[in-house]
Structure 1
Amino acid sequence: MKIQKEIIEFEDGKSFKLFSPSLKNCFFWHYHPEIELVYVEAVSGIRHIGKDISGFTESDLLLIGSNVPHLNFDYGIQTECWQMVLQMRENFLQNTIVPVPEFEKIKLLLERSYLGLSFYGETKKLIVEKLHLLRKKSSIDSLLGLIEILQILAESEEVKELNSEDTRIKWFLNDKIRMGTIYDYIHENYDKKPNVNEIAKIVSLSTPAFCRYFKKQTDMTFTDFVNNYRINQARIFLLKESSITEVCFQVGFESISYFNKLFKQHVGETPSEFRKKHLNKIDRSIEINNF
């Protein structure tokens, strides 16, 4: 599960590609020089872009800059999940956008995408509609459609920056300690008892030095980071048949009361409220699809 460079191939005569990947059972921690727009639809999932690891519910629309490490957004999702991924050629910004003065806002948007941008509200709704239409357009019309999408995103205020600093692959590879090694350890041990002394030893640091390093890299303590990861996993497991108590222990917590308290702090609702709300949405969706 070390970080991988993804090699993206494009059709001749195409500036971008639009497709719907599915990698549910694959931990694909990767990067590529192409800028990417991702729409993912799922009851609950985890987004991991650069330093940011956070959860999403129902759907997410993300613009990911060149060479920013990220995890596939359907990883570990046990319910239905669907994605649309739009990848622009590596030279798209320099060759297509930069030379045209009218594209100044788009240029600034794409340059800022290295932070990882999450769009919401009416912007997300509109862009999803435009992406669906893009599939049906001819070659030149699809390019104009992409420009329209980027212009809408560039002018939107319904956006959140996921990282506060540069986390492109150069930052990761120049770092003496690969954050990927730490992420791998947490991913493998979050449901057990991740030990800060053990991971510090793995990356050849004293425990105090590791704690300082980890806080600097993630803006969280190791314990807070692990708990955040556990809560995001719990949101996925809560939508399966396990009870809330079973989920609590499944993700590594030993106290139901502490799990409930922490879950509400992170998600804004209790595990039972979260489950009831989103299972009702799943049931309604099934009813509509079967009608």
Structure 2
Amino acid sequence: MKIQKEIIEFEDGKSFKLFSPSLKNCFFWHHHPEIELVYVEAINGIRHVGRDISVFTESDLVLIGSNVPHLNFDYGIQTECRQLVVQMRENFLQNTILPVPEFENIKKLLERSYLGLSFSGETKSIVIEKLNNIKDKNSFDSLIGLIEILQILAGSDEVKELNKEDTRIKWFMNDKIRMGTIYDYIHENYDKKPNVNEIAKIVSLSTPAFCRYFKKQTNMTFTDFVNNYRISQAKIFLLKDYSVTEVCFQVGFESLSYFNKLFKQHTGETPSEFRKKHLKNIEVRN
């Protein structure tokens, strides 16, 4: 479960590929020299790009730079999940964008994509519509469509930098800890009482060393990450017609008031408000 280098193959005569991967329970912690644009649609999931570990709700659109380690966005998702991924050839920036003065904004976008860029709002809506439109077009029209998408992203202010520093593969090369083991442990124990001493022992670290390592990797304490994961799982159960009280205890909280408080801190709404709003959206789509 060490970081793997993904070898990407392209069709002859094409500068990029657009496809819909499905890995689900496969932990694929990887990097590649190709710049990648990922759209994922699910009730919620985990986003792990470089050092950033966070959750998304409903959908996510992320531009990931060359050789930035990242986890497959459908890892651990047990509900319906849809993905569209664009991977651009390694020389796409140098050969396609840099020589053209009119692409200056796109050049700047791709050059800072090493931070991991998450897009939201109207930008995300417009881009996913355009991604769907170019799926079945010929090579020339699909390339023009991709350039339009990159221009939209380059001009958007609905963007969040996921990392504050360079997290390309050179930063991770000496990391021998198996993040997959930690993810699996949390997934198996989040509804019980995950024990930091136990997981530290599993990955062969002292507890203080593990805590330092985990904080460096995720910018969160182990307890904060577990609670974050519990809230993420709670969203799934809330949309499966469980009561708020049932969900609270099902994901490992022992206090309903603390669950409500933490859920609102993470999402901006109470569990009841979240369920009411998102169930209504699901009914509208159906």
* Superposition TM-score, scaled by structure 2 size: 0.90
Q: Which residue in 1 is equivalent to 2:207?
A: 207
Deviations 1:88-128 (A, max 9, x none): 11221222222333322212211211211111122112212
Deviations 1:14-42 (A, max 9, x none): 11111122333433333322211112223
Q: Determine helix, strand or coil for the equivalent of 1:173.
A: coil
Q: 1:191 to 1:6 in 2, by over 3 A?
A: farther
Q: Which residue in 2 is equivalent to 1:23?
A: 23
Q: Which residue in 2 is equivalent to 1:289?
A: none
Q: Which residue in 1 is equivalent to 2:149?
A: 149
Structure 2 residue identity aligned to 1:56: F
Structure 1 residue 41 and structure 2 residue 7: aligned? Answer: no
Structure 1 residue 260 and structure 2 residue 264: aligned? Answer: no
Structure 2 residue identity aligned to 1:7: I
Structure 1 residue identity aligned to 2:231: I
Q: Which residue in 2 is equivalent to 1:158?
A: 158
Structure 1 residue identity aligned to 2:268: G
Q: 1:37 to 1:14 in 2, by over 3 A?
A: same
Structure 1 residue identity aligned to 2:56: F
Structure 1 residue 109 and structure 2 residue 109: aligned? Answer: yes
Q: Determine helix, strand or coil for the equivalent of 1:7.
A: coil
Q: Which residue in 2 is equivalent to 1:243?
A: 243
- On the 8 A contact 2:43/2:235 being kept in 1, the answer is no
Deviations 1:232-291 (A, max 9, x none): 1221232224333333233222222222211111111111211111111112211xxxxx
Fraction of identical pairs, as percent: 85
1:2 positional shift: 4.6
- On the 8 A contact 1:172/1:179 being kept in 2, the answer is no
Q: Which moved further from structure 2: 177-186 or 274-283?
A: 177-186
2:240 and 2:77 map into 1 onto residues whose CA distance is 10
User: 1:18-97 counterparts in 2 under 5 A?
Assistant: 18-97=18-97
Q: 1:170 to 1:242 in 2, by over 3 A?
A: farther
Structure 2 residue identity aligned to 1:93: L
Q: Which moved further from structure 2: 107-116 or 43-52?
A: 43-52
Q: 1:186 to 1:31 in 2, by over 3 A?
A: farther
- Runs of 5+ in structure 1 lacking a partner? 287-291
2:254 and 2:136 map into 1 onto residues whose CA distance is 52
Deviations 1:33-53 (A, max 9, x none): 221111222333332222222
Count residues with an aligned counterpart.
Answer: 286
Q: Which residue in 1 is equivalent to 2:133?
A: 133
Q: Which residue in 1 is equivalent to 2:174?
A: 174
1:28 and 1:180 map into 2 onto residues whose CA distance is 9
Q: Which residue in 2 is equivalent to 1:234?
A: 234
1:183 positional shift: 3.4
Q: 1:145 to 1:6 in 2, by over 3 A?
A: same
- On the 8 A contact 2:2/2:178 being kept in 1, the answer is no
1:180 positional shift: 4.3
- On the 8 A contact 1:45/1:236 being kept in 2, the answer is no
Q: Which residue in 1 is equivalent to 2:219?
A: 219
2:27 and 2:176 map into 1 onto residues whose CA distance is 23
1:78 positional shift: 4.1
1:75 and 1:33 map into 2 onto residues whose CA distance is 21
1:256 and 1:37 map into 2 onto residues whose CA distance is 39
2:111 and 2:186 map into 1 onto residues whose CA distance is 31
2:44 and 2:13 map into 1 onto residues whose CA distance is 37
Q: Determine helix, strand or coil for the equivalent of 1:128.
A: helix
CA RMSD of aligned residues (A): 2.2
Q: Which moved further from structure 2: 149-158 or 3-12?
A: 3-12
* Superposition TM-score, scaled by structure 1 size: 0.88
2:218 and 2:180 map into 1 onto residues whose CA distance is 12
